[in-house]
Amino acid sequence: MARWQRDRRQQTVIVTVFGAVLFFVLGLVAWAATDRYYTANLKPAATYDGRVFPMRDYKRELGYQYTSFYVNYGVPPGYENDSQILQQKASYETVALENLVENAIMDDNARRDGVVVTAQQIEDRYNADFGEYHARHILITPKPEGDAADATTVADSTALAKARAIADQLKQSPNDQNLWNTLATQYSDDTGSAASGGDLGFVGKGQFVKEFEDAVRTMSIGQVSDPIKSQYGYHVIQLIETRPPAESVFVQRQISYGYTEADVKAHVRYDILNDEYKARAQKLSVTSPTPQVHLAWVAVASPKVTGGDFTAFTTQLQKVADVQKAIDDGTDFAEIAKKYSEDSETSDKGGDLGWFAKGMVTKLDIEKDLFTLAVGKVSNQKSDSSQTVWYKVLERDESRALEDAQKTKISDNAFSYWYQQEKARHVIQKLVPGHELDT
């Protein structure tokens, strides 16, 4: 074979090998990229009756919840990853994952029940929840003097009369800044705004007491209200201006992170559905008389490592073991509660929780155990990420009337109780690392 033929064959072999290696490397890169994309976007974060919620949906909901946290707790832009808030942020992983499941359950029930949320309902709620208003006020707080039986009534009447007089003055010159400055400085009991003529700046829903907000929502620009009574006294309010949701702090912060008004409105839709099913659950929640159990408990914090503190973890682990041993040894339950329980409201009473009806405990597995446990018996240890508890049934009554406080608690728990019942009817898996055991 001629030399030039050998050289050409060697070149051919080299090119072939290089091509094969290059193809293999590019294949690995493509595979790795595909795998990363799958893990970051398509890998299941949760399943609901076989329906997959991909990781990208979970991450997008998590980002939305993070932004809500930043706004609600005043975390300024640029401090989102500050070490001081990382632990609080971590709790929103559970919130985001739970929201995916809760929304799916509400959607299923809405389809079944024929509940339709209209575009107008969403728009109205969006404006109410995220529109902001700029107001000022003068607050007159009643100041009872002496111990006379009517001291409170007299003080209230005096405060109301003073507030009416101030309102009358301001209605004569509603936009007189000097008048507002003078009256606020001289009379207002709101020390935070008195020096600025009562100016409260722009605020949104939930930042003031309900009576104040309800009044402002009905006022026209520039109007001065009659005295509005709240737990703090009498408010004389002027609505200065409003701004639409798109200009609010919350919506603007969401937009800065890549969300849209449509994303906020999608969450508003679920807020409306939540209210609908909360109202339905409350309507059906209270039945009296009803079976009840009289309970006592021992409650301690669940052992966990925080900030690398293994000593505290070990100490708490030993405490849980000591409680269990005392129960196994037959030690009086009330004495165990007095010695070990970390619930300050009940430990001195031997852990006595009072009477419980169904719906007062929203964890269905615990409720089932408590209502089947014999009188005098102690439950198995019940643990979650925050608390480890043991219950004892002291008494049982199959037809006991509900007290007002019990009715309130059942009503307040109604949506959570309904939601837990709905979850129990479905096959739900949470697959985000660290949350596989979440219920």
- Residue-wise pLDDT for 168-211, tens only, equals 999 999 999 999 999 999 999 999 999 999 999 998 888 899 99
**Residue 435 resides in a domain:** no
Q: Determine which helix (DSSP H) or strand (DSSP E) holds 285, and give its type and residue range.
A: helix 261-285
Clarify whether residues 319 and 225 are in a common domain: no
Clarify whether residues 234 and 312 are in a common domain: no
CATH at residue 395 = 3.10.50.40
Q: Determine which helix (DSSP H) or strand (DSSP E) holds 291, and give its type and residue range.
A: strand 290-301
Count how many Cα atoms sit within 13 Å of the Cα of residue 424 in the half-sphere of its side chain: 11
Q: Which pair of structure tokens corresponds to residue 235?
A: 């408010």
Clarify whether residues 297 and 237 are in a common domain: no
Q: Block means of pLDDT (10 residues each) for the chain, length 439 residues?
A: 55 60 58 62 88 94 95 92 89 93 96 97 95 96 85 92 96 96 96 95 90 94 96 96 94 96 97 97 91 95 76 88 95 96 94 95 91 95 88 96 95 94 92 77
Q: Strand order in 290-301's β-sheet?
A: 352-357, 290-301, 387-400, 382-383
Q: Are strands 428-430 and 382-383 parallel, antiparallel or unpaired?
A: unpaired
The domain in which residue 11 lies consists of 3-42
Q: Which pair of structure tokens corresponds to residue 81?
A: 């990853």
Q: Which pair of structure tokens corresponds to residue 257?
A: 């992170």
**Residue 210 resides in a domain:** yes
SS3 state of residue 211 = helix
Which pLDDT tens digit goes with each residue over 35-57? 676 666 778 899 999 999 999 99
Predicted pLDDT at 419: 95
**Residue 393 resides in a domain:** yes
Q: Strand order in 228-230's β-sheet?
A: 199-203, 132-140, 233-243, 228-230
Mention every residue, 6+ apart, whose C-beta is less than 8 A from residue 66: 80, 89, 92
Residue 51 β-bridge partners = 48
